[in-house]
Amino acid sequence: MDGAPFTSSSSSFSTFKTASISSSSSTSLICLSKKFSRNHLPSKFKSRRNLSVRASNDDSVVTLLDYGAGNVRSVRNAIRHLGFQIKDVQTPKDILNARRLIFPGVGAFAPAMDVLNNTGMGEALCTYIQNDRPFLGICLGLQLLFESSEENGPVGGLGLIPGVVGRFDSSKGFRVPHIGWNALQITKDSDILDDIGNRHVYFVHSYRAMPSKENKDWISSTCNYGDEFIASVRKGKVHAVQFHPEKSGDVGLSVLRRFLLPKSSLTEKRTERKASKLAKRVIACLDVRTNDEGDLVVTKGDQYDVREHAEKNEVRNLGKPVELAAQYYRDGADEVSFLNITGFRDFPLGDLPMLQVLRSASENVFVPLTVGGGIRDFTDSNDRYYSSLEVASEYFRSGADKISIGSDAVHAAEEYLKTKVKTGKSSIEQISRVYGNQAVVVSIDPRRMYLNDPSDVEFKSIRLTKQGPNGEEYAWYQCTINGGREGRPIGAYELAKAVEELGAGEILLNCIDCDGQGKGFDVDLIKMISDAVSIPVIASSGAGAVEHFTDVFSKTNASAALAAGIFHRKEVPIRSVKEHLLKEGIEVRI
Ligand code: 1PR
């Protein structure tokens, strides 16, 4: 089924030596970029006029340029979902012979340019695009068209569009990475965006290209996030988008459809509400584990205890992961998360059922998928060592857009706080370096520890809005590992700050005390953490009613709110959560 990404001998992402590649590739890239910046790439590329473009005439085939980094499976699934077949680029000639070409770029700018240069694909791409052939670049596939990027750079790009790709400026109080559903300002007719009108699309990036008078004629839409950045470009049959159409639900599928079938009819379902800014996200979480019969089921803890308190003491079984994920997608969830809650026990790459769940779910879920559980360096019983990067790479190849690290992040933070040295070896650093920090979520499992006097502990504590059981006015939040089984000498505040410095792009902030209680999120905890970091924070644990969502979004800087039990038990539909938020004036994606 899966076409294979082409790999150049020296820089294939799919080989596990990735870590070394990035360091080596960076050196070769630097000298390349020096050469580039000196030689203005396009001219060098333009020289070889003998690169002729000849299109195959198979109408139902899409040529896909997949250089093996990150989750291209979602783009494949979306293309197949729209009834097209995929021809994978193996050689530069495949680009030149493409009838239509999609270039989904995931990961970091420098290693991507390195692969394009080392394989001659960059040159072929330039020729293909300069011949106004049907092209769609996605995310990094847009950024690489520009002259250069500041990401681990400056690094030379393909130089087809004037301008430099720079990092969002977090000093303006906007959380970086820009993760979530934001609104487009369409600036010129772009055919493929005709269906979008006033809808939200999904972004996940830390770098963006800025409008200038030199690139004005390319821009077809912008988006506002602290500043107005380029959200899409178009010239003739050449299109590129910064957002992810394959992860933007039905709106995104329509963008892909209109690229693949330019004359296809508009299917726009107008909504009465205009998308205007970054929406708050409502996330459905599926805690999964094998039950006593060995089946992988969706379960749900009661303060992390997932066993029925009946005579058989079984693992609570709330349904099948793939079916429930597809259901929540249809119900309007903005993201779906799978947490393999016993992952700390197993060897994640040996956990084939979990990988299979991910592959199957990603075939029908066109919103971002996050997977967590057991991501860490691992040595199996045959003494074979696997890096956490290898584990994460398998999850990305299987359809994950983001991975979530729990216990291993606690160990990494404790080590970092002890030495204050970034070794580059922690799972957070390894994975964020190659896939970008927007792909790395840290899941925190804290337990509330009541205090009469904050000076009783060395960790950050807060004054509680509601006193503790014995009238305590303060509490700190002790982090745990292995599914809440072991408390560690580190507070949630210290952990959040440390993992942000190590390169995490987002925090999933659970609370063991509130988990499954349906009495609302721990607003005190979420306020403390979302005020302490500049990366997005997902509020989690305790949702029991629609009001709990307005509460957490109006009293904290949480960017998203996650729930499980109320959705699994069909007590509160996702739709009613969103309608309530809209009624309360909180922008969400409809
Ligand atoms: O430590 O890297 O192997 O990751 C394990 C992952 O599994 C972590 O993300 C950890 O949060 C999660 N986990 C481990 N044990 C449990 C458990 O329940 N026994 N579940 C568990 C965490 C928390 C939320 C839950 C919310 C919402 N679940 O994800 O869905 O609390 O629930 P609610 O809306 O019903 O209140 P590693």
Q: List, for residues 303-359, the tens digit of each pLDDT value.
A: 999 888 777 788 899 999 999 999 999 999 999 999 999 887 777 677 678 899 999
Please give the Cα distance from 105 to 137 (Å, whole number): 7
DSSP state of 550: H
**Residues in binding site for substrate:** 374, 510
Please give the Cα distance from 29 to 241 (Å, whole number): 25
Ordered DSSP codes for 123-145: HHHHHHHHTT--EEEEEHHHHTT
**Residues in binding site for L-glutamine:** 139
C-alpha of 567 from chain center: 22
According to DSSP, the residues that pair with 451 across neighbouring strands are 474
pLDDT score of 18 more than 60: no
pLDDT score of 13 more than 50: no
Strand 227-235 to 219-225 pairing: antiparallel
* Residues 128, 203, 590, 322, Cα dihedral to 10°: 90
For ligand 1, mutation pick of 443, 477, 567 (most atoms within 8 Å of CB): 443
Ligand 1 centre to CA of 512 (Å) is 8
Ligand 1 nearest atom to the CA of residue 344, by list position: 3
Tell me the three-class secondary structure of 222-289, residue by residue: EEEECEEEEEEEEECCEEEECCCHHHCHHHHHHHHHHHHCCCCCCCCCCCCCCCCCCCEEEEEEEEEE
28: exposed, middle or buried (C-beta count within 10 Å: 0-12, 13-18, 19+)? middle
348 C-beta closer than 6 A to ligand 1:
no
Q: Is 290 within 8 Å of 342 (Cβ atoms)?
A: yes
Q: Is 418 within 8 Å of 469 (Cβ atoms)?
A: no
User: Which amino acid, 149?
Assistant: S
Strand 61-64 to 135-139 pairing: unpaired
Catalytic site includes residue 244: yes
Ligand 1 centre to CA of 65 (Å) is 36
Strand 178-186 to 200-205 pairing: antiparallel
Which residue among the candidates 244, 548, 568, 580 is catalytic per the annotation?
244
544 C-beta closer than 6 A to ligand 1:
no
Please give the Cα distance from 22 to 28 (Å, whole number): 10
Ligand 1 nearest atom to the CA of residue 564, by list position: 34
Would you state the pLDDT for residue 129? 97
* Segment 82-86 mean pLDDT: 95
Q: Is 542 within 8 Å of 521 (Cβ atoms)?
A: yes
Ligand 1 centre to CA of 341 (Å) is 6
Q: Where on the phi/psi map is residue 197: left (φ > 0), alpha (ψ -120 to 50), or beta?
A: left
Residue nearest atom 17 of ligand 1, based on CA coordinates: 304
Residue nearest atom 27 of ligand 1, based on CA coordinates: 541
Would you state the pLDDT for residue 31? 41
Ligand 1 nearest atom to the CA of residue 568, by list position: 35
Residue 312 token pair: 């058989």
Closest CA to 511 of 525, 497, 490: 525
User: What is the percent of the chain with per-residue pLDDT over 90, rounded to a whole number?
Assistant: 73
Length of the chain measured in residues: 590
Task: Identify the helix (H) or strand (E) that includes residue 480.
Answer: strand 474-481
480 C-beta closer than 6 A to ligand 1:
no
Omega within 30 of 0 (cis) for the link into 154: yes
372 C-beta closer than 6 A to ligand 1:
yes
Question: What's the chain's Rg over C-alpha atoms?
Answer: 24
Ligand 1 centre to CA of 312 (Å) is 23
Helices (H), 63-102: 73-81, 92-96
Q: Is 207 within 8 Å of 146 (Cβ atoms)?
A: no
Ligand 1 centre to CA of 442 (Å) is 12
* Segment 494-501 mean pLDDT: 98
User: What is the percent of the chain with per-residue pLDDT over 70, rounded to a whole number?
Assistant: 87
Ligand 1 nearest atom to the CA of residue 285, by list position: 30
Please give the Cα distance from 208 to 200 (Å, whole number): 18
Quickly tell me which residue has 């821009």 as its tokens: 219
Residue 150 token pair: 């500041």
Would you state the pLDDT for residue 216? 96
- Give the number of other CB atoms < 10 A from CB of residue 396: 26
Ligand 1 centre to CA of 508 (Å) is 10
Residue nearest atom 12 of ligand 1, based on CA coordinates: 341
Residue 41 token pair: 């790439």
536 C-beta closer than 6 A to ligand 1:
no
Strand 207-209 to 378-379 pairing: unpaired
Q: How far is CA 332 from CA 270, 320, 569, 575, in A?
A: 16, 19, 17, 7
Would you state the pLDDT for residue 266? 57
339 C-beta closer than 6 A to ligand 1:
yes
67-92 b/e (C-beta count within 10 Å ≥ 16 → b): bbbbbbbbbbbbbeebebebbbbeeb
DSSP state of 373: S
Quickly tell me which residue has 């239509």 as its tokens: 100
Q: Give percent helix, percent strand, percent coil of the chain, each to the nearest 5.
A: 35, 25, 40
540 C-beta closer than 6 A to ligand 1:
yes
Q: Is 321 within 8 Å of 297 (Cβ atoms)?
A: yes
pLDDT in tens, 377-404: 998 888 889 999 999 999 998 999 999 9
Q: Is 131 within 8 Å of 116 (Cβ atoms)?
A: no
φ, ψ for residue 234 (rounded to 5)? -155, 135
344 C-beta closer than 6 A to ligand 1:
yes
Catalytic site includes residue 287: yes
Q: Which of 33-37, 314-318, 507-511 has the lowest mean pLDDT?
A: 33-37
Q: Is 433 within 8 Å of 441 (Cβ atoms)?
A: no
Which residue among the candidates 246, 394, 408, 551 is catalytic per the annotation?
246
Residue nearest atom 28 of ligand 1, based on CA coordinates: 287
565 C-beta closer than 6 A to ligand 1:
yes
563 C-beta closer than 6 A to ligand 1:
yes
Task: Identify the helix (H) or strand (E) that includes residue 86.
Answer: strand 85-88
446 C-beta closer than 6 A to ligand 1:
no
Closest CA to 509 of 485, 483, 541, 549: 541
Residue nearest atom 26 of ligand 1, based on CA coordinates: 541
- Residue 39 pLDDT grade (very low, low, confident, very high; cuts 50, 70, 90): very low
**Residues in binding site:** 139, 374, 510
**Contacts (Cβ under 8 Å, ≥6 apart) of 308:** 314, 315, 316
Would you state the pLDDT for residue 536? 97
Euclidean distance between the first and final Cα of the chain, in Å? 33
If one compares 276 and 327, the residue with the highest pLDDT of the two is 327
343 C-beta closer than 6 A to ligand 1:
yes
Which residue among the candidates 126, 139, 223, 511 is catalytic per the annotation?
139
Closest CA to 145 of 232, 275, 260: 232
According to DSSP, the residues that pair with 441 across neighbouring strands are 404, 506
For ligand 1, mutation pick of 296, 340, 440, 445 (most atoms within 8 Å of CB): 445
Please give the Cα distance from 226 to 467 (Å, whole number): 38
pLDDT in tens, 554-590: 999 999 999 999 999 999 999 999 999 999 999 999 8
| Predicted TM-score (pTM) of this structure | 0.89
Strand 146-149 to 155-156 pairing: antiparallel
Ligand 1 centre to CA of 431 (Å) is 21
